[in-house]
Amino acid sequence: MGDRIDHAWRVLGTGLSFLAFGLGGLVLGLLVLPPMLWLMRDPARRQRWSRRLVQRSFAAHVALMRWLGVMTYEIRGRERLDREGLLVLANHPTLIDVVLLISLLPNADCVVKSAVARNPFMRATVRAAGYVANDDGPGLVEDCIAAVRAGGALVIFPEGTRTTPGRPMKLQRGAANIAVRGELDITPVRITCTPPTLGKGEKWYRVPPVRFHMVIDVQEDLPIAPFLNGMAGTDPSAGGEALAARRLTEHLANYFAGDPSRAGT
């Protein structure tokens, strides 16, 4: 009986968490950030304040989920995030990892879909925070590089979507292209969720038998230099950057899959 009550409570708690997240997004996007666009004329100051508000709202959401008994979490290497100008790449096992990771970054920058940037409920947030819009344009990589060099912590999930359970991890090359073309070191973050929940294709009410525990493990920076060594004297148009990005993508796939024997350069 006790297990059934606990399970029912966690289903209810998960539903309340999703409801709170939706309502919080509406309040932030419709009531809080739009006045900031009018009152703060300095774009840099407005961006900082907006990103800090997003961070704190996400941190409040994580605290709510923990208080409701839905989840627990552990942060390792958090001090590595207390820097400016980071390219943060992470695996993407579950829906909540986005919220948890950004809750740790007061100056987080994100790549958002152009449809989100145009959404009437979200566009004020995207505009005020200065997030990079993913319109598949040729300037996207350069925009991302500029965001890091401006001091932001650009968060990218190289898979492009949540990991499909039971299938090999498949990464897109966009994140690697940003690192290679910008000659940016990478701050990798390994995320685990035990037991698995809120994965790709999973319904929110399919809660695990016990509350899930998340680990956000911020690793030491991954230098980009070893992947650029073969580019010395190479014309980028001849495929030097493409080769480096492919090598880096393969390395990251093995790195996040936890196979250090194959994560070589």
Q: Which of 155, 100, 156, 122 is nearest to 25 (CA)?
A: 122
How confident is the model at residue 239, as a pLDDT?
Answer: 67
**Structural contact between residues 212 and 194, judged by C-beta atoms closer than 8 angstroms:** yes
How confident is the model at residue 34, as a pLDDT?
Answer: 80
Q: Is the dihedral of CA 55, 71, 91, 170 positive or negative?
A: negative
Structure tokens at 244: 């480096």
How confident is the model at residue 264, as a pLDDT?
Answer: 46
Provide the H-helix boundaries in 106-239.
Answer: 114-118, 123-129, 140-149, 174-182, 225-228
How confident is the model at residue 238, as a pLDDT?
Answer: 47
In which residue ranges of the chain is pLDDT below 70? 120-121, 136-138, 230-239, 259-265
DSSP SS3 for 182: helix
Structure tokens at 62: 């994580």
DSSP SS3 for 183: coil
How confident is the model at residue 121, as a pLDDT?
Answer: 65
Tell me which CATH code domain 2-257 carries.
3.40.1130
Distance of CA 201 to the CA centre of its chain: 19
How confident is the model at residue 137, as a pLDDT?
Answer: 64
**Structural contact between residues 109 and 154, judged by C-beta atoms closer than 8 angstroms:** yes
How confident is the model at residue 28, as a pLDDT?
Answer: 86
pTM exceeding the 0.95 threshold for the entire prediction: no
Q: In sequence order, what E strands does 132-221 have?
A: 132-134, 153-156, 187-194, 212-218
Give the Cα separation of 102 and 20 in Å (integer): 17
Q: Where are the domains of the chain?
A: 2-257
Return the H-helix or E-strand segment holding 199.
Answer: none
